[in-house]
Structure 1
Protein backbone atom coordinates (compact mmCIF):
# COMPACT_ATOMS: atom_id res chain seq x y z
CA UNK A 1 0.00 0.00 0.00
CA UNK A 2 1.28 3.44 -0.98
CA UNK A 3 2.00 5.49 2.16
CA UNK A 4 1.37 8.65 0.18
CA UNK A 5 -2.23 7.58 -0.44
CA UNK A 6 -2.63 6.86 3.25
CA UNK A 7 -1.39 10.36 4.02
CA UNK A 8 -3.92 11.80 1.54
CA UNK A 9 -6.66 9.68 3.10
CA UNK A 10 -5.84 10.92 6.62
CA UNK A 11 -5.85 14.55 5.44
CA UNK A 12 -9.30 14.18 3.89
CA UNK A 13 -10.61 12.34 6.96
CA UNK A 14 -9.34 15.06 9.29
CA UNK A 15 -10.67 17.93 7.16
CA UNK A 16 -13.92 16.23 6.19
CA UNK A 17 -13.67 18.04 2.89
CA UNK A 18 -11.67 17.19 -0.23
CA UNK A 19 -11.12 20.81 -1.25
CA UNK A 20 -9.72 21.88 2.14
CA UNK A 21 -7.57 18.73 2.28
CA UNK A 22 -6.16 19.48 -1.17
CA UNK A 23 -5.24 23.00 -0.06
CA UNK A 24 -3.60 21.63 3.08
CA UNK A 25 -1.60 19.11 1.07
CA UNK A 26 -0.68 21.63 -1.63
CA UNK A 27 -2.12 19.62 -4.52
CA UNK A 28 -5.15 20.02 -6.78
CA UNK A 29 -8.56 18.65 -5.86
CA UNK A 30 -8.94 16.36 -8.92
CA UNK A 31 -5.63 14.51 -8.33
CA UNK A 32 -6.53 14.10 -4.66
CA UNK A 33 -9.96 12.70 -5.48
CA UNK A 34 -8.32 10.32 -7.95
CA UNK A 35 -5.89 9.07 -5.29
CA UNK A 36 -8.78 8.39 -2.88
CA UNK A 37 -10.64 6.45 -5.58
CA UNK A 38 -7.50 4.42 -6.31
CA UNK A 39 -7.17 3.64 -2.60
CA UNK A 40 -10.79 2.44 -2.44
CA UNK A 41 -10.23 0.22 -5.47
CA UNK A 42 -7.14 -1.30 -3.81
CA UNK A 43 -9.08 -1.97 -0.60
CA UNK A 44 -12.26 -2.94 -2.39
CA UNK A 45 -14.30 -0.87 0.09
CA UNK A 46 -15.61 2.69 0.30
CA UNK A 47 -13.86 4.76 2.94
CA UNK A 48 -15.93 7.95 2.51
CA UNK A 49 -19.50 8.86 1.75
CA UNK A 50 -20.66 12.29 0.66
CA UNK A 51 -22.49 14.69 2.98
CA UNK A 52 -24.01 18.10 2.39
CA UNK A 53 -20.76 19.83 3.44
CA UNK A 54 -18.12 17.39 2.30
CA UNK A 55 -17.35 13.78 3.12
CA UNK A 56 -17.56 11.52 6.18
CA UNK A 57 -15.93 8.21 7.06
CA UNK A 58 -17.65 4.91 6.51
CA UNK A 59 -17.17 2.15 9.06
CA UNK A 60 -14.37 0.81 6.88
CA UNK A 61 -12.88 4.31 6.74
CA UNK A 62 -12.98 4.66 10.53
CA UNK A 63 -11.13 1.37 10.94
CA UNK A 64 -8.60 2.38 8.30
CA UNK A 65 -7.98 5.77 9.92
CA UNK A 66 -6.74 4.18 13.15
CA UNK A 67 -4.28 1.93 11.37
CA UNK A 68 -3.30 4.57 8.81
CA UNK A 69 -2.23 7.01 11.53
CA UNK A 70 -0.25 4.27 13.25
CA UNK A 71 1.46 3.21 10.01
CA UNK A 72 2.32 6.79 9.07
CA UNK A 73 3.64 7.40 12.59
CA UNK A 74 5.73 4.24 12.39
CA UNK A 75 7.07 5.27 8.99
CA UNK A 76 8.02 8.70 10.29
CA UNK A 77 9.68 7.16 13.34
CA UNK A 78 11.59 4.75 11.10
CA UNK A 79 12.97 7.70 9.15
CA UNK A 80 13.95 9.52 12.35
CA UNK A 81 15.59 6.37 13.74
CA UNK A 82 17.59 5.88 10.56
CA UNK A 83 18.66 9.54 10.56
CA UNK A 84 19.70 9.40 14.23
CA UNK A 85 21.65 6.20 13.63
CA UNK A 86 23.31 7.79 10.62
CA UNK A 87 24.36 10.71 12.82
CA UNK A 88 25.74 8.33 15.45
CA UNK A 89 23.12 9.28 18.05
CA UNK A 90 21.89 5.74 18.77
CA UNK A 91 23.29 2.24 18.98
CA UNK A 92 26.25 0.91 20.96
CA UNK A 93 29.88 1.98 21.08
CA UNK A 94 32.47 -0.56 22.24
CA UNK A 95 35.40 1.21 23.90
CA UNK A 96 38.53 -0.53 25.12
CA UNK A 97 41.05 0.94 27.53
CA UNK A 98 44.24 -0.10 29.24
CA UNK A 99 44.47 -0.03 33.03
CA UNK A 100 46.91 2.87 32.89
CA UNK A 101 44.65 4.89 30.59
CA UNK A 102 41.75 4.52 33.02
CA UNK A 103 43.64 6.57 35.63
CA UNK A 104 44.01 9.67 33.47
CA UNK A 105 41.46 12.38 34.39
CA UNK A 106 40.80 13.26 30.75
CA UNK A 107 39.43 9.75 30.22
CA UNK A 108 36.83 10.13 32.96
CA UNK A 109 35.85 13.54 31.61
CA UNK A 110 35.67 12.24 28.05
CA UNK A 111 33.38 9.34 28.94
CA UNK A 112 31.16 11.56 31.09
CA UNK A 113 30.76 14.21 28.37
CA UNK A 114 30.11 11.66 25.62
CA UNK A 115 27.37 9.93 27.61
CA UNK A 116 25.74 13.28 28.38
CA UNK A 117 25.97 14.45 24.76
CA UNK A 118 24.81 11.16 23.21
CA UNK A 119 22.46 9.53 25.75
CA UNK A 120 21.03 7.30 23.04
CA UNK A 121 24.37 5.52 22.57
CA UNK A 122 25.10 2.67 24.99
CA UNK A 123 28.79 2.71 25.93
CA UNK A 124 30.44 -0.64 26.62
CA UNK A 125 33.86 -0.60 28.31
CA UNK A 126 36.45 -3.36 28.02
CA UNK A 127 39.72 -3.27 29.95
CA UNK A 128 42.74 -5.14 28.65
CA UNK A 129 46.40 -4.95 27.79
CA UNK A 130 47.50 -3.00 24.74
CA UNK A 131 48.03 -6.20 22.76
CA UNK A 132 44.60 -7.53 23.69
CA UNK A 133 42.87 -4.27 22.78
CA UNK A 134 44.59 -4.02 19.41
CA UNK A 135 43.55 -7.59 18.59
CA UNK A 136 39.92 -6.85 19.56
CA UNK A 137 40.02 -3.67 17.50
CA UNK A 138 41.31 -5.48 14.42
CA UNK A 139 38.65 -8.19 14.85
CA UNK A 140 35.90 -5.56 14.92
CA UNK A 141 34.92 -6.35 18.51
CA UNK A 142 35.97 -2.86 19.61
CA UNK A 143 35.21 0.45 17.92
CA UNK A 144 37.89 2.44 19.73
CA UNK A 145 40.68 1.80 22.23
CA UNK A 146 42.39 4.14 24.68
CA UNK A 147 46.04 3.20 24.97
CA UNK A 148 49.59 4.52 25.23
CA UNK A 149 51.15 4.19 21.77
CA UNK A 150 54.65 5.40 22.52
CA UNK A 151 56.46 5.87 19.19
CA UNK A 152 54.75 2.85 17.63
CA UNK A 153 52.49 2.80 14.57
CA UNK A 154 50.23 -0.07 13.55
CA UNK A 155 49.11 -1.21 10.13
CA UNK A 156 45.45 -0.47 9.55
CA UNK A 157 45.14 1.46 12.85
CA UNK A 158 44.70 5.23 13.10
CA UNK A 159 45.95 6.93 16.27
CA UNK A 160 44.61 10.22 17.69
CA UNK A 161 46.63 11.70 20.54
CA UNK A 162 44.42 13.18 23.24
CA UNK A 163 46.81 13.79 26.15
CA UNK A 164 50.36 13.54 27.37
CA UNK A 165 51.59 13.38 30.95
CA UNK A 166 54.88 13.20 32.81
CA UNK A 167 56.19 9.98 34.28
CA UNK A 168 57.01 9.43 37.93
CA UNK A 169 59.38 7.10 39.73
CA UNK A 170 57.71 4.74 42.18
CA UNK A 171 59.94 3.64 45.05
CA UNK A 172 59.63 1.51 48.17
CA UNK A 173 59.00 3.77 51.16
CA UNK A 174 62.31 2.70 52.70
CA UNK A 175 64.38 3.45 49.59
CA UNK A 176 67.35 5.80 49.94
CA UNK A 177 65.70 8.27 47.51
CA UNK A 178 62.18 8.02 48.92
CA UNK A 179 62.33 11.42 50.65
CA UNK A 180 63.47 13.25 47.52
CA UNK A 181 61.00 15.57 45.82
CA UNK A 182 62.66 15.24 42.43
CA UNK A 183 65.36 12.96 41.10
CA UNK A 184 67.21 12.49 37.79
CA UNK A 185 66.74 9.13 36.12
CA UNK A 186 70.46 8.51 36.40
CA UNK A 187 69.90 8.07 40.15
CA UNK A 188 68.21 4.75 39.30
CA UNK A 189 71.18 3.27 37.47
CA UNK A 190 71.95 -0.13 38.98
CA UNK A 191 68.43 -0.52 40.42
CA UNK A 192 66.28 -3.56 39.70
CA UNK A 193 63.15 -2.54 37.75
CA UNK A 194 59.65 -3.99 38.11
CA UNK A 195 58.13 -3.85 34.63
CA UNK A 196 55.08 -4.98 32.69
CA UNK A 197 56.17 -7.61 30.13
CA UNK A 198 56.72 -6.20 26.67
CA UNK A 199 54.28 -8.66 25.08
CA UNK A 200 51.51 -7.25 27.29
CA UNK A 201 52.22 -3.53 26.90
CA UNK A 202 54.96 -2.99 24.32
CA UNK A 203 54.51 0.78 24.14
CA UNK A 204 54.75 1.59 27.84
CA UNK A 205 57.50 -1.01 28.31
CA UNK A 206 59.57 0.56 25.52
CA UNK A 207 58.93 4.10 26.77
CA UNK A 208 60.39 3.21 30.17
CA UNK A 209 63.42 1.45 28.69
CA UNK A 210 64.06 4.25 26.19
CA UNK A 211 63.86 6.90 28.94
CA UNK A 212 66.50 5.03 30.95
CA UNK A 213 68.69 4.52 27.90
CA UNK A 214 68.39 8.20 27.02
CA UNK A 215 69.60 8.93 30.55
CA UNK A 216 72.65 6.74 29.85
CA UNK A 217 71.95 3.42 31.53
CA UNK A 218 70.26 0.09 30.92
CA UNK A 219 67.64 -0.76 33.57
CA UNK A 220 68.23 -4.05 35.34
CA UNK A 221 65.31 -6.40 34.63
CA UNK A 222 63.62 -7.61 37.80
CA UNK A 223 60.24 -9.08 38.67
CA UNK A 224 57.56 -8.69 35.99
CA UNK A 225 53.95 -7.67 36.70
CA UNK A 226 50.86 -8.06 34.47
CA UNK A 227 49.50 -4.54 35.07
CA UNK A 228 50.40 -1.25 36.72
CA UNK A 229 48.55 -1.91 39.97
CA UNK A 230 50.66 -5.07 40.31
CA UNK A 231 53.80 -3.06 39.54
CA UNK A 232 53.01 -0.71 42.44
CA UNK A 233 52.31 -3.59 44.81
CA UNK A 234 55.56 -5.34 43.91
CA UNK A 235 57.50 -2.11 44.46
CA UNK A 236 55.79 -1.88 47.85
CA UNK A 237 57.09 -5.39 48.57
CA UNK A 238 60.61 -4.09 47.70
CA UNK A 239 61.10 -6.15 44.55
CA UNK A 240 62.59 -3.04 42.92
CA UNK A 241 61.68 0.38 41.52
CA UNK A 242 59.70 1.41 38.49
CA UNK A 243 58.53 4.27 36.32
CA UNK A 244 54.81 4.90 35.82
CA UNK A 245 52.55 7.55 34.25
CA UNK A 246 51.90 10.35 36.76
CA UNK A 247 48.16 9.59 36.92
CA UNK A 248 48.97 6.13 38.33
CA UNK A 249 50.08 7.87 41.54
CA UNK A 250 46.37 7.75 42.44
CA UNK A 251 47.11 4.18 43.56
CA UNK A 252 47.93 4.86 47.20
CA UNK A 253 49.46 1.54 48.14
CA UNK A 254 51.05 1.30 51.56
CA UNK A 255 54.82 1.28 51.46
CA UNK A 256 55.42 3.21 48.23
CA UNK A 257 56.21 6.80 47.33
CA UNK A 258 56.01 8.58 43.98
CA UNK A 259 58.80 10.96 43.06
CA UNK A 260 58.94 13.46 40.20
CA UNK A 261 61.55 12.98 37.48
CA UNK A 262 63.90 15.90 36.88
CA UNK A 263 63.96 15.33 33.12
CA UNK A 264 60.82 17.06 31.83
CA UNK A 265 61.06 15.09 28.56
CA UNK A 266 60.14 11.82 30.28
CA UNK A 267 56.48 11.79 29.24
CA UNK A 268 53.96 9.28 27.97
CA UNK A 269 51.17 9.89 25.50
CA UNK A 270 47.56 8.76 25.61
CA UNK A 271 45.80 8.10 22.31
CA UNK A 272 42.58 6.78 20.84
CA UNK A 273 43.02 3.99 18.31
CA UNK A 274 40.47 3.14 15.63
CA UNK A 275 40.41 1.03 12.49
CA UNK A 276 41.79 3.21 9.73
CA UNK A 277 39.46 2.01 6.94
CA UNK A 278 36.25 1.71 8.96
CA UNK A 279 34.81 4.74 10.70
CA UNK A 280 31.23 5.00 11.93
CA UNK A 281 29.39 8.18 12.89
CA UNK A 282 29.53 7.05 16.53
CA UNK A 283 33.32 6.81 16.33
CA UNK A 284 33.56 10.24 14.70
CA UNK A 285 31.37 11.70 17.46
CA UNK A 286 33.54 10.18 20.17
CA UNK A 287 36.69 11.50 18.49
CA UNK A 288 35.12 14.97 18.27
CA UNK A 289 34.32 14.90 22.00
CA UNK A 290 37.88 13.72 22.69
CA UNK A 291 39.33 16.54 20.61
CA UNK A 292 37.25 19.09 22.54
CA UNK A 293 38.41 17.54 25.83
CA UNK A 294 42.03 17.75 24.67
CA UNK A 295 41.69 21.43 23.75
CA UNK A 296 40.03 22.19 27.11
CA UNK A 297 42.80 20.37 28.97
CA UNK A 298 45.49 22.25 27.02
CA UNK A 299 43.80 25.58 27.79
CA UNK A 300 43.61 24.71 31.48
CA UNK A 301 47.29 23.73 31.53
CA UNK A 302 48.23 27.12 30.08
CA UNK A 303 46.20 28.96 32.71
CA UNK A 304 47.57 27.10 35.75
CA UNK A 305 51.21 28.33 35.49
CA UNK A 306 50.00 31.93 35.10
CA UNK A 307 47.85 31.63 38.23
CA UNK A 308 50.75 30.20 40.23
CA UNK A 309 52.92 33.16 39.16
CA UNK A 310 50.17 35.61 40.20
CA UNK A 311 49.82 33.83 43.57
CA UNK A 312 53.56 34.20 44.23
CA UNK A 313 53.36 37.88 43.39
CA UNK A 314 50.71 38.44 46.06
Structure 2
Protein backbone atom coordinates (compact mmCIF):
# COMPACT_ATOMS: atom_id res chain seq x y z
CA UNK A 1 0.00 0.00 0.00
CA UNK A 2 1.36 3.40 -0.98
CA UNK A 3 0.33 6.96 -0.17
CA UNK A 4 -1.09 7.34 -3.66
CA UNK A 5 -3.55 4.54 -2.91
CA UNK A 6 -4.77 6.51 0.11
CA UNK A 7 -5.02 9.73 -1.93
CA UNK A 8 -6.98 7.96 -4.67
CA UNK A 9 -9.29 6.35 -2.11
CA UNK A 10 -9.94 9.63 -0.27
CA UNK A 11 -10.72 11.41 -3.54
CA UNK A 12 -13.32 8.78 -4.48
CA UNK A 13 -14.73 8.74 -0.92
CA UNK A 14 -15.15 12.52 -0.97
CA UNK A 15 -16.61 12.69 -4.46
CA UNK A 16 -18.57 9.39 -4.22
CA UNK A 17 -18.10 9.18 -7.96
CA UNK A 18 -15.20 7.62 -9.89
CA UNK A 19 -15.38 9.94 -12.90
CA UNK A 20 -15.40 13.13 -10.81
CA UNK A 21 -12.60 11.77 -8.60
CA UNK A 22 -10.52 10.85 -11.69
CA UNK A 23 -10.98 14.35 -13.08
CA UNK A 24 -9.94 15.88 -9.76
CA UNK A 25 -6.85 13.69 -9.62
CA UNK A 26 -5.94 14.29 -13.25
CA UNK A 27 -5.95 10.62 -14.22
CA UNK A 28 -8.23 8.38 -16.26
CA UNK A 29 -11.25 6.72 -14.69
CA UNK A 30 -10.21 3.12 -15.60
CA UNK A 31 -6.76 3.38 -13.94
CA UNK A 32 -8.41 4.89 -10.85
CA UNK A 33 -10.89 2.01 -10.66
CA UNK A 34 -7.99 -0.45 -10.94
CA UNK A 35 -6.08 1.22 -8.11
CA UNK A 36 -9.13 1.09 -5.81
CA UNK A 37 -9.70 -2.57 -6.68
CA UNK A 38 -6.06 -3.34 -5.85
CA UNK A 39 -6.47 -1.56 -2.50
CA UNK A 40 -9.63 -3.53 -1.70
CA UNK A 41 -7.88 -6.77 -2.65
CA UNK A 42 -4.93 -5.93 -0.39
CA UNK A 43 -7.27 -5.16 2.50
CA UNK A 44 -9.44 -8.17 1.75
CA UNK A 45 -12.71 -6.21 2.03
CA UNK A 46 -14.91 -3.90 -0.04
CA UNK A 47 -14.56 -0.18 0.61
CA UNK A 48 -17.39 0.95 -1.67
CA UNK A 49 -20.81 -0.23 -2.71
CA UNK A 50 -21.24 0.37 -6.44
CA UNK A 51 -24.48 2.20 -7.22
CA UNK A 52 -26.18 3.00 -10.56
CA UNK A 53 -24.99 6.60 -10.11
CA UNK A 54 -21.73 6.72 -8.19
CA UNK A 55 -20.66 4.80 -5.10
CA UNK A 56 -21.28 4.72 -1.36
CA UNK A 57 -18.86 3.86 1.43
CA UNK A 58 -19.28 0.56 3.21
CA UNK A 59 -19.07 0.62 7.01
CA UNK A 60 -15.45 -0.60 6.75
CA UNK A 61 -14.86 1.99 4.03
CA UNK A 62 -16.09 4.80 6.31
CA UNK A 63 -13.70 3.67 9.06
CA UNK A 64 -10.82 3.45 6.58
CA UNK A 65 -11.78 6.88 5.19
CA UNK A 66 -11.47 8.54 8.60
CA UNK A 67 -8.06 6.98 9.24
CA UNK A 68 -6.80 7.61 5.69
CA UNK A 69 -7.60 11.31 5.94
CA UNK A 70 -5.82 11.49 9.29
CA UNK A 71 -2.77 9.74 7.82
CA UNK A 72 -2.64 12.06 4.82
CA UNK A 73 -3.06 15.10 7.06
CA UNK A 74 -0.21 13.85 9.24
CA UNK A 75 2.00 13.34 6.20
CA UNK A 76 1.21 16.88 5.03
CA UNK A 77 2.04 18.28 8.46
CA UNK A 78 5.32 16.35 8.55
CA UNK A 79 6.20 17.54 5.05
CA UNK A 80 5.37 21.15 5.87
CA UNK A 81 7.41 20.99 9.08
CA UNK A 82 10.38 19.46 7.24
CA UNK A 83 10.21 22.28 4.68
CA UNK A 84 10.09 24.87 7.49
CA UNK A 85 13.13 23.32 9.17
CA UNK A 86 14.95 23.22 5.83
CA UNK A 87 14.23 26.95 5.41
CA UNK A 88 15.41 27.69 8.96
CA UNK A 89 11.92 28.69 10.08
CA UNK A 90 11.71 26.07 12.81
CA UNK A 91 14.20 24.50 15.20
CA UNK A 92 16.66 26.07 17.62
CA UNK A 93 19.69 28.36 17.48
CA UNK A 94 22.33 28.55 20.23
CA UNK A 95 23.73 32.08 20.22
CA UNK A 96 26.76 33.19 22.17
CA UNK A 97 27.70 36.79 22.89
CA UNK A 98 30.37 38.61 24.82
CA UNK A 99 29.34 40.51 27.93
CA UNK A 100 29.50 43.92 26.24
CA UNK A 101 27.48 42.92 23.15
CA UNK A 102 24.00 43.61 24.59
CA UNK A 103 24.97 47.24 25.30
CA UNK A 104 25.42 48.04 21.61
CA UNK A 105 21.99 48.49 19.96
CA UNK A 106 23.03 46.46 16.90
CA UNK A 107 23.11 43.10 18.69
CA UNK A 108 19.76 43.30 20.56
CA UNK A 109 18.09 44.53 17.36
CA UNK A 110 19.40 41.57 15.37
CA UNK A 111 18.26 39.13 18.07
CA UNK A 112 14.84 40.80 18.35
CA UNK A 113 14.29 40.91 14.58
CA UNK A 114 15.37 37.28 14.22
CA UNK A 115 12.75 36.33 16.82
CA UNK A 116 10.10 38.31 14.96
CA UNK A 117 10.94 36.75 11.59
CA UNK A 118 11.35 33.23 12.90
CA UNK A 119 9.06 32.88 15.93
CA UNK A 120 9.22 29.08 15.80
CA UNK A 121 13.01 29.00 16.23
CA UNK A 122 13.94 28.65 19.89
CA UNK A 123 16.86 30.93 20.80
CA UNK A 124 19.29 29.96 23.57
CA UNK A 125 21.57 32.84 24.61
CA UNK A 126 24.89 32.39 26.44
CA UNK A 127 27.20 35.24 27.55
CA UNK A 128 30.89 34.46 27.85
CA UNK A 129 34.37 35.55 26.76
CA UNK A 130 35.50 35.53 23.14
CA UNK A 131 37.87 32.52 23.48
CA UNK A 132 35.24 30.49 25.35
CA UNK A 133 32.57 31.29 22.77
CA UNK A 134 34.88 30.48 19.86
CA UNK A 135 35.66 27.11 21.46
CA UNK A 136 31.95 26.47 22.02
CA UNK A 137 31.19 27.08 18.34
CA UNK A 138 34.03 24.78 17.30
CA UNK A 139 32.86 22.10 19.76
CA UNK A 140 29.26 22.39 18.53
CA UNK A 141 27.91 23.50 21.90
CA UNK A 142 27.04 26.86 20.30
CA UNK A 143 25.98 27.58 16.73
CA UNK A 144 27.02 31.20 16.28
CA UNK A 145 28.50 33.94 18.45
CA UNK A 146 28.97 37.71 18.62
CA UNK A 147 32.62 38.22 19.61
CA UNK A 148 35.56 40.64 19.60
CA UNK A 149 38.62 39.84 17.41
CA UNK A 150 40.18 36.44 17.95
CA UNK A 151 43.87 35.99 18.63
CA UNK A 152 45.95 33.75 16.40
CA UNK A 153 44.64 30.68 14.65
CA UNK A 154 40.90 30.52 14.10
CA UNK A 155 40.93 27.41 11.90
CA UNK A 156 37.51 25.90 11.51
CA UNK A 157 35.71 29.20 12.05
CA UNK A 158 34.27 31.76 9.66
CA UNK A 159 34.56 35.32 10.98
CA UNK A 160 32.00 37.81 9.71
CA UNK A 161 32.97 41.42 10.63
CA UNK A 162 29.94 43.49 11.63
CA UNK A 163 31.07 46.93 12.80
CA UNK A 164 33.95 48.84 14.36
CA UNK A 165 33.03 50.65 17.54
CA UNK A 166 34.74 53.73 18.96
CA UNK A 167 36.79 53.20 22.11
CA UNK A 168 36.54 55.82 24.89
CA UNK A 169 38.59 56.68 27.95
CA UNK A 170 36.75 55.82 31.17
CA UNK A 171 37.79 58.02 34.09
CA UNK A 172 36.71 58.11 37.73
CA UNK A 173 34.36 61.02 38.31
CA UNK A 174 36.29 64.09 39.40
CA UNK A 175 39.54 62.91 37.81
CA UNK A 176 41.74 65.89 36.78
CA UNK A 177 41.70 64.75 33.12
CA UNK A 178 37.90 64.90 33.07
CA UNK A 179 38.05 68.64 32.48
CA UNK A 180 39.18 67.98 28.90
CA UNK A 181 36.63 67.10 26.22
CA UNK A 182 39.06 64.81 24.40
CA UNK A 183 42.26 63.12 25.53
CA UNK A 184 45.33 61.82 23.78
CA UNK A 185 46.44 58.39 24.92
CA UNK A 186 49.73 59.94 26.06
CA UNK A 187 47.78 61.84 28.72
CA UNK A 188 47.17 58.45 30.38
CA UNK A 189 50.83 57.44 30.50
CA UNK A 190 51.15 57.87 34.27
CA UNK A 191 47.73 56.40 35.16
CA UNK A 192 46.89 53.01 36.64
CA UNK A 193 44.83 50.97 34.18
CA UNK A 194 41.93 48.60 34.74
CA UNK A 195 41.73 46.09 31.87
CA UNK A 196 40.50 42.60 31.13
CA UNK A 197 43.03 39.74 31.01
CA UNK A 198 44.53 39.15 27.58
CA UNK A 199 43.16 35.60 27.49
CA UNK A 200 39.61 36.95 27.85
CA UNK A 201 39.69 39.46 25.00
CA UNK A 202 43.01 38.99 23.29
CA UNK A 203 42.27 40.84 20.06
CA UNK A 204 40.95 44.05 21.65
CA UNK A 205 43.54 43.82 24.44
CA UNK A 206 46.36 43.74 21.90
CA UNK A 207 44.85 46.67 19.97
CA UNK A 208 44.70 48.76 23.17
CA UNK A 209 48.28 47.92 24.19
CA UNK A 210 49.56 48.59 20.65
CA UNK A 211 47.81 51.97 20.49
CA UNK A 212 49.31 53.00 23.82
CA UNK A 213 52.79 51.94 22.70
CA UNK A 214 52.42 53.95 19.50
CA UNK A 215 51.67 56.89 21.78
CA UNK A 216 54.96 56.34 23.62
CA UNK A 217 54.15 54.27 26.71
CA UNK A 218 53.10 50.85 27.96
CA UNK A 219 50.00 51.01 30.17
CA UNK A 220 50.51 50.05 33.81
CA UNK A 221 47.73 47.52 34.43
CA UNK A 222 47.08 47.30 38.17
CA UNK A 223 43.58 45.78 38.16
CA UNK A 224 41.99 43.16 35.94
CA UNK A 225 38.36 42.12 35.48
CA UNK A 226 37.02 39.58 33.04
CA UNK A 227 33.80 41.50 32.29
CA UNK A 228 33.67 45.01 30.84
CA UNK A 229 30.81 45.86 33.20
CA UNK A 230 33.10 45.01 36.13
CA UNK A 231 35.84 47.19 34.64
CA UNK A 232 33.46 50.17 34.60
CA UNK A 233 32.56 49.54 38.25
CA UNK A 234 36.25 49.38 39.22
CA UNK A 235 36.86 52.69 37.43
CA UNK A 236 33.90 54.17 39.32
CA UNK A 237 35.57 52.98 42.54
CA UNK A 238 38.64 55.04 41.67
CA UNK A 239 40.97 52.08 41.09
CA UNK A 240 42.22 53.33 37.74
CA UNK A 241 41.30 54.43 34.23
CA UNK A 242 40.37 52.24 31.29
CA UNK A 243 39.67 52.12 27.57
CA UNK A 244 36.24 50.68 26.81
CA UNK A 245 33.86 50.36 23.85
CA UNK A 246 31.65 53.44 23.50
CA UNK A 247 28.50 51.39 23.99
CA UNK A 248 29.48 50.88 27.64
CA UNK A 249 28.12 54.39 28.26
CA UNK A 250 24.73 52.64 28.27
CA UNK A 251 25.54 51.29 31.74
CA UNK A 252 25.07 54.80 33.18
CA UNK A 253 27.30 53.90 36.10
CA UNK A 254 27.60 56.72 38.64
CA UNK A 255 31.17 57.77 39.24
CA UNK A 256 32.44 57.31 35.68
CA UNK A 257 33.20 59.98 33.09
CA UNK A 258 33.80 59.08 29.44
CA UNK A 259 36.02 61.06 27.09
CA UNK A 260 36.79 60.63 23.39
CA UNK A 261 40.36 59.88 22.29
CA UNK A 262 42.14 62.47 20.17
CA UNK A 263 44.43 61.16 17.47
CA UNK A 264 45.53 57.55 17.14
CA UNK A 265 43.03 55.31 18.93
CA UNK A 266 42.08 51.63 19.02
CA UNK A 267 38.66 50.46 17.87
CA UNK A 268 36.50 47.62 19.14
CA UNK A 269 35.33 45.34 16.37
CA UNK A 270 32.28 43.12 16.72
CA UNK A 271 32.07 40.02 14.55
CA UNK A 272 29.98 36.91 14.09
CA UNK A 273 31.73 33.56 14.14
CA UNK A 274 30.33 30.22 13.00
CA UNK A 275 31.74 26.89 11.88
CA UNK A 276 33.29 26.44 8.45
CA UNK A 277 31.04 24.33 6.25
CA UNK A 278 28.05 25.04 8.50
CA UNK A 279 24.89 23.93 6.69
CA UNK A 280 22.32 24.90 9.31
CA UNK A 281 19.62 27.06 7.71
CA UNK A 282 18.99 28.81 11.04
CA UNK A 283 22.64 29.90 11.16
CA UNK A 284 22.40 31.04 7.53
CA UNK A 285 19.31 33.09 8.39
CA UNK A 286 21.05 34.77 11.33
CA UNK A 287 24.10 35.61 9.20
CA UNK A 288 21.90 36.98 6.41
CA UNK A 289 19.93 39.11 8.85
CA UNK A 290 23.11 40.51 10.43
CA UNK A 291 24.48 41.39 6.97
CA UNK A 292 21.19 43.03 6.09
CA UNK A 293 21.22 45.14 9.24
CA UNK A 294 24.85 46.16 8.66
CA UNK A 295 23.80 47.54 5.28
CA UNK A 296 20.70 49.23 6.70
CA UNK A 297 22.58 50.84 9.57
CA UNK A 298 25.59 52.06 7.63
CA UNK A 299 26.26 55.64 8.65
CA UNK A 300 25.07 55.48 12.28
CA UNK A 301 26.68 58.04 14.66
CA UNK A 302 30.11 57.39 16.10
CA UNK A 303 30.01 54.77 18.82
CA UNK A 304 27.09 53.07 17.09
CA UNK A 305 28.56 52.74 13.63
CA UNK A 306 28.29 49.66 11.47
CA UNK A 307 30.12 48.63 8.40
- TM-score w.r.t. the length of structure 2 is 0.95
1:53 lines up with 2:75 in the alignment? no
Could you say what secondary structure the match of 2:168 adopts?
strand
1:216 deviates by 2.2
1:66 deviates by 0.6
The corresponding residue for 1:28 is 28
**Aligned positions of 1:225-236 closer than 5 A:** 225-236=225-236
1:172 lines up with 2:194 in the alignment? no
List 4+ stretches of structure 1 deviating above 4 A: 150-153, 299-302
Post-superposition Cα deviations, 1:121-145, rounded to whole Å, max 9, x if no partner, equal 1111000111211121111010001
CA distance in 2, matches of 1:138, 1:243: 30
The corresponding residue for 1:141 is 141
1:260 lines up with 2:255 in the alignment? no
The corresponding residue for 2:278 is 278
CA distance in 2, matches of 1:52, 1:183: 98
> Contact 1:150/1:269 (CA < 8 Å) preserved in 2?
no
**Aligned positions of 1:43-192 closer than 5 A:** 43-149=43-149, 154-192=154-192
CA distance in 2, matches of 1:150, 1:183: 28
C-alpha change, 1:24 and 1:243, in structure 2 (3 Å) is: same
> Contact 2:86/2:281 (CA < 8 Å) preserved in 1?
yes
Post-superposition Cα deviations, 1:180-215, rounded to whole Å, max 9, x if no partner, equal 211111111121111111112212221211221222
Segments of structure 2 that go 5 or more residues without pairing to the other structure are none
CA distance in 2, matches of 1:152, 1:252: 34
Which deviates further from its counterpart, 255-264 or 241-250?
Answer: 255-264
CA distance in 1, matches of 2:224, 2:266: 21
The corresponding residue for 1:246 is 246
CA distance in 1, matches of 2:153, 2:299: 28
> Contact 1:150/1:268 (CA < 8 Å) preserved in 2?
no
Which deviates further from its counterpart, 145-154 or 130-139?
Answer: 145-154
> Contact 1:7/1:72 (CA < 8 Å) preserved in 2?
yes
Post-superposition Cα deviations, 1:62-121, rounded to whole Å, max 9, x if no partner, equal 001111111001111111111111111100000000011121110011111111111111
CA distance in 1, matches of 2:150, 2:248: 17
CA distance in 2, matches of 1:29, 1:150: 68
1:174 deviates by 2.3
CA distance in 2, matches of 1:191, 1:156: 40
Number of aligned positions between the proteins = 304
CA distance in 1, matches of 2:212, 2:281: 41
CA distance in 2, matches of 1:183, 1:265: 10
C-alpha change, 1:159 and 1:290, in structure 2 (3 Å) is: same
> Contact 1:167/1:246 (CA < 8 Å) preserved in 2?
yes
> Contact 1:106/1:163 (CA < 8 Å) preserved in 2?
no
